[in-house]
Amino acid sequence: MNQPNQRPPCPRSVLTPEQERRRAEWAAEAERKKAAVAARRRAEAQQARRAEAEKKRRRAEAWRLFCNRFVIYLIMLALVLAVSGLIFLISLHHTEKETLPHQYAYSVGGVYDEQGKVIEAPVTITLPQQDALRDGILYLPMSAIADLAEMTVTGTPDVLKFTAESGEYVRFTAESNRAEVNGDIVLLDAPAVLREEGGTETLWIPAEFIVTWMQGVAVESNGETGEVTIRLDEDVEISFLLKGSHPLETIDERGEFGDTPAIAFKADLSAYEEYMNPSDRDAYIALINVDNKLAADYIPDDLMNVVDTRKDGRNTQQLREYAAKALEAFFIEMRACGITDVSVTSAYRSYSYQTQLFEQRVDMYPSLSREQAEAKAATVVTWPGASEHQSGLCVDMHNLSAADISFANTASFAWIAENAHKFGFILRYPEDKVEETGISYEPWHYRYVGRYHATRIYNLGISLEEYVAQYMQ
Ligand SMILES: [Zn+2]
């Protein structure tokens, strides 16, 4: 019944020696086990403490290492920053000093002796760097160059034509990169620019144009100092490398533009579109003839100079604004198509001037009565008030010394008669409409009515009298 490791039941009886011995053994055994457990626990605790200490040591070691590396990195970073900052500063210093002067100083013309001493001072112009150099393109003062080269300047500030003594010319449009050289179109590197200087507007153009296309002008520029020198080349006449020798090109019509077909011109006439094709399309259609006279005191209030007036000493002719600008476009395109011999000989005439012309004619028939003389004069000179010229909407233009129907036999007339309507003009007194107009054939006389009506009149092949009677009542 007794099992080992099981205590004997209580109360205890007296033990045999054998039992005493066993009991002592048990006790010793238990003591030994207890001691072993305690020892093991102590060992484990010690091991845990050691592991903990080791962990701490490693952590400390890692932190120290990290700190050391961090400091090294910081030092390296600081070094890199310092070096690159130094390089940046150096390059900045160099850029300012070597490639971008703050001011550009132009010196145009001037007379020098053989030692280079100034005999006559050049014209000098200074310009801030950002104006002289746009997107890396150097601009030159075309107006000053024209003065130097003794070129004639005509046109409006927006569209300026520079004509050399030889008759060769270039035309620039402000804010446009198209230039017209002797009737040919040249694309500029950048648009021409109008600049206000001391109350006058001057035209600036990319230097490349002068260098590439213009002969007789020498340009030197120094990008480091900003000095630009422009001189005449005394051995070369002012001229251009393009001579406008291209053959006459037909104008093709394509697409629809509002009421009238869009027109592909050879020149860039986009700036003139509103003038050729006025949005107020009936504003210029008024019929003026012996039955529809203008009042004696009628003077248009928007007269403008006609830039293509013949340059033979006569007064610069004038037209109403829209007619003048449309005519300007007409001439630009004409030249782009190779016709350069036509010019305007007459445009607006006042009532009093027309009266003077009429009276001069009447005086040529002293043998007739006043009434007879007037009737006879009226066959040659329009009655005062009945002349379209008082309206400021018509021009006489041709290539003869005086207006004559032989103009109708020229190639210039053929082009004008074929194209006038595209610019808003009509041949006002056609050969086959003398009865309707009451005026003999005038191949040189063109009336502005705007493109819409001009195109219809041209296509219908009728006179303004018939057109107004049939379509404008
Ligand atoms: Zn006329």
Q: Is pLDDT at 251 greater than 50 in this prediction?
A: no
Burial 212-244 (b: 16+ CB within 10 A, else e): ebbebbebebeeeebebbbbbeeeeebbbebeb
Nearest to 88 by CA among 77, 78, 80: 80
What pLDDT is attached to residue 294? 95
Going from the Cα of 278 to the center of ligand 1, the distance in angstroms, rounded, reads: 23
Going from the Cα of 447 to the center of ligand 1, the distance in angstroms, rounded, reads: 9
What pLDDT is attached to residue 249? 32
Nearest to 155 by CA among 287, 286, 259, 304: 304
CA angle centred on 389, ends 388 and 394, rounded to 5° = 85
Provide mean pLDDT across the span 151-169.
83
What pLDDT is attached to residue 176? 87
Going from the Cα of 371 to the center of ligand 1, the distance in angstroms, rounded, reads: 24
| 234 confidence band (pLDDT: 50, 70, 90) | confident
Going from the Cα of 313 to the center of ligand 1, the distance in angstroms, rounded, reads: 19
**135 vs 3, more confident:** 135
CATH topology of domain 253-349+387-471: Muramoyl-pentapeptide Carboxypeptidase; domain 2 (3.30.1380)
Going from the Cα of 387 to the center of ligand 1, the distance in angstroms, rounded, reads: 8
**379 vs 361, more confident:** 361
Nearest to 390 by CA among 353, 426, 429: 353
Going from the Cα of 193 to the center of ligand 1, the distance in angstroms, rounded, reads: 37
Going from the Cα of 394 to the center of ligand 1, the distance in angstroms, rounded, reads: 7
Q: Collapsing DSSP states into helix, strand and coil, what is residue 48?
A: helix
Going from the Cα of 389 to the center of ligand 1, the distance in angstroms, rounded, reads: 6
| 323 confidence band (pLDDT: 50, 70, 90) | very high
Going from the Cα of 386 to the center of ligand 1, the distance in angstroms, rounded, reads: 12
Going from the Cα of 220 to the center of ligand 1, the distance in angstroms, rounded, reads: 50
Global pTM reads 0.48
> CA-CA distances (angstroms) from residue 167 to 75, 205, 314?
74, 21, 19
What residues act catalytically?
Answer: 442
> Among 214-218, 223-227, 252-256, 397-401, which is the least confidently predicted range?
252-256
Going from the Cα of 309 to the center of ligand 1, the distance in angstroms, rounded, reads: 14
Going from the Cα of 233 to the center of ligand 1, the distance in angstroms, rounded, reads: 45
What pLDDT is attached to residue 56? 94
Strands (DSSP E) found in 74-199: 103-108, 111-112, 118-120, 123-128, 133-134, 137-141, 152-155, 159-163, 169-173, 178-181, 184-187, 193-197
Give me the residue label for tokens 């003794």: 150
> CA-CA distances (angstroms) from residue 22 to 12, 13, 219?
15, 15, 130
Going from the Cα of 348 to the center of ligand 1, the distance in angstroms, rounded, reads: 9
Question: Terminus-to-terminus CA distance in the chain, angstroms?
Answer: 147
Burial 446-472 (b: 16+ CB within 10 A, else e): bbbbbbbbbbbbbeeebbbbebbeeee
CA distance 198 to 366: 58
What pLDDT is attached to residue 98? 52
Element at 36 (helix H, strand E):
helix 17-98
Quote the mean pLDDT of the chain.
87
Q: Is pLDDT at 382 greater than 70 in this prediction?
A: yes
At the fourth CATH level, which superfamily is domain 103-240?
Answer: Copper amine oxidase-like, N-terminal domain (3.30.457.10)
| 248 confidence band (pLDDT: 50, 70, 90) | very low
Provide mean pLDDT across the span 122-147.
89
Provide mean pLDDT across the span 220-229.
88
CA distance 469 to 471: 6
Q: Is pLDDT at 13 greater than 70 in this prediction?
A: no
Q: Is pLDDT at 41 greater than 70 in this prediction?
A: yes
What pLDDT is attached to residue 252? 35
* % the chain with pLDDT above 90: 59
Torsion of CA 181, 183, 185, 190, to 10 degrees: 40
Q: Is pLDDT at 407 greater than 90 in this prediction?
A: yes
Going from the Cα of 73 to the center of ligand 1, the distance in angstroms, rounded, reads: 91
Read off the pLDDT of residues 77-115 as tens digits, 9 standing for 90 and up.
Answer: 999 999 898 988 877 766 555 557 788 999 999 888 888
